[in-house]
A and B are shown apart, each in its own frame.
Chain A
Amino acid sequence: MTTTTTATTTRPTVATVWLDGCSGCHMSLMDLDERLITLAGLVDILHSPVVDPKEFPQSVDVTLVEGAVSSEEDLHKANVIRAHSKFVIALGDCAVTGNVPAMRNYWDRSDLFDRAYVENAQEPPTAEERKVILPLTVVPPLRPLATPLHEVIKVDLYLPGCPPPADAIWFVLTEFLAGRVPNAMSVSRFGK
């Protein structure tokens, strides 16, 4: 997808992004079922885990973000999303509250790593091995805390739920397309 196509389209553009979450919110999006076809007729989905292009477009009308901000990569993505989206929706409890990914916040990162990579290893790694095993160099580093999206960028609408029901996602999108800012709390809640 290029900026040229973005410029020629007159329909609203939508992107969805998956940060630190279980993808359940995207599953819920899929649960729109036949309404997905209707949706495809109303908007252009420029970027999403379920469509091809891997780059984030220059300009998007609405971006739905699933997941908490856990790694430096998530933070980078969030900043990109904010810079190139007119309207950002935090989709689901992980993006809204931190939810399950934030349950790691009760411990120190090094304790977490020890638990995951050292204590549970079949043979305890040596000091040398530790350096390689611990996810510190190859993958994007974890931030000290996994946080809700609004802790790092401005969020325009919150749609809580774990996951938000397909009906709630539909309601929010259609209200938005009708030019209204929806009241998400009328269709979902924390933990729903």
Chain B
Amino acid sequence: MSAVTSTTQSITLTIDDKAISCRSGETILQVARENNIDIPTLCYLEGLTVWGGCRLCMVEIAASPKLHAACATECTEGMTVRTTSPRLKQYRKMIVEMLFAERNHVCSVCVSNGHCELQNMATKLEIDHVRFPYRFPHLAVDNSHDYMRLDHNRCILCLRCVRVCGEIEGAHTKDVKGRGVLSAIIHDLDEPWGDSQTCTGCGKCVNVCPTGALTHRGTAVGEMTKKTEFLPYLTLMREVKL
């Protein structure tokens, strides 16, 4: 760790017209959040490796023709970042709308209704309807585990569960099969969750899941709430041990 600290430099940059200083190596997303500037995310979760898949945190950087994912872009000296603009807002709306169209997110009958990051994101981005054709896929619910449930209808493939299972719990029970819109979360060799010999039943995946895809069994509509605070703590403890 000391080697890293010695090379850490202080950097100044501008985010949304606000002059900010931070340490080198920090990402735009981290620095923005430290400074109470909100950038929407769904796949990012503090304590897990950066995935860069949801593309909601795309920001504009002055003098760059391209958009950049704030979660995966490190701050550099003199950088000027804009985290919101009519164009960005439009893109973010479309991305969330597409998630609603991709699978079956029926909020009214979902156990996570009212505690769902996807639902909250739709409200925050003022999405009042979905412009895209719905896909209406026929997807299964894995009810085989004693006290947890995977409902593919609600999954947005953020892979938080896969990452927490591999990176934090170390079991790597979960991964993804297939590709494109047909990809899906699996356990071991695509076996029922309840039959998995590698799952430790720790339940971390349930708590990091942003939607009603991974839930505790026995919860009724609107009853499922999640806790993610444990994650940064566990990550910190792992670092201390190193």
Contact = CB atoms under 8 A, between A and B. Distances in A.
CB–CB under 8 A between A and B in the complex? yes
Interface in B108-154: 108-110, 113-114, 119, 122-123, 126-131, 133-134, 136-139
B104 A103 contact: yes
A70 interface: no
A122 B91 CA distance: 53
A150 B110 contact: no
Contacts of A183: 126
Interface of B: 100, 104-110, 113-114, 119, 122-123, 126-131, 133-134, 136-139
A147 B128 contact: no
Given A99-B108, A185-B123, A191-B119, A107 B128 contact: no
B127 A191 contact: no
Given A97-B129, A160-B129, A189 B100 contact: no
Contacts, number: 68
Interface of A: 90, 93, 96-100, 102-103, 105-107, 145, 147-148, 150-151, 155, 158-160, 162, 183-185, 189-191
21 contacts: A93-B108, A96-B128, A97-B106, A98-B134, A99-B106, A100-B108, A102-B134, A106-B104, A106-B138, A107-B138, A151-B133, A159-B128, A183-B126, A189-B122, A189-B123, A190-B119, A191-B106, A191-B107, A191-B113, A191-B114, A191-B119
Given A105-B136, A106-B138, A191 B128 contact: no
Interface of B is mostly: loop
A162 B107 contact: yes
B130 A97 contact: yes
A98 B105 CA distance: 10
